Amino acid sequence: MERYRRRYGFTQFTRNPHFPVTTLLLMRAGVAYGRDNDVTAYVEAGVKMMWENGLKMDDPEVFVKAFNDAGFDGQGLLEATQDPEVKAALVANTQGDGDRGVFGIPACFVGDEQFCDKDHIEEMEWWVQHRDWKD
């Protein structure tokens, strides 16, 4: 992680002093947000909160304030985490990922080949460029 941070010049990264942080709240809110929105902005905000600002994102008060400060409806997201449909969708997503062998993030697939974690993105790019697509 440190090599990757230095290589790409991420100067704001910090180890979260609350780690490990239970991410259930973040994941449920991401599912809820993703029902009507592209989750890119949500994920980018959450990553910044966890790995730049060092916030304890499993604390509901911290969660609401951080997302409000980032321009989201923090309270609405928090409330949506209790929606049974959101909970069921997260369980289904998690089961699907588990069935496919996903073990980390980001996880990307090219066919059945999994590339997991940021430092394997270049390997994935190489695979896409050099794979014999006839097999």
Q: Which two tokens stand for residue 62?
A: 């911290």
Cα dihedral 18, 22, 25, 28 sign: positive
Q: What is the mean pLDDT of residues 81-92?
A: 98
Q: What percent of the chain has pLDDT over 90?
A: 53
Q: What is the pLDDT of residues 6-60, one digit of tens each?
A: 776 677 888 889 999 999 999 999 999 999 999 999 998 998 999 889 999 999 9
CB 14 within 8 A of CB 51: yes
In this prediction, residue 8 carries a pLDDT of: 66
In this prediction, residue 53 carries a pLDDT of: 92
User: With a threshold of 0.85, does the pTM exceed it?
Assistant: no
Residue 134 predicted with pLDDT over 60: no
Q: Which two tokens stand for residue 124?
A: 């994935």
In this prediction, residue 47 carries a pLDDT of: 87
The residues near 53 (Cβ < 8 Å, ≥ 6 apart) are: 66
Q: How confident is the model at residue 67 (pLDDT cuts 50, 70, 90)?
A: very high
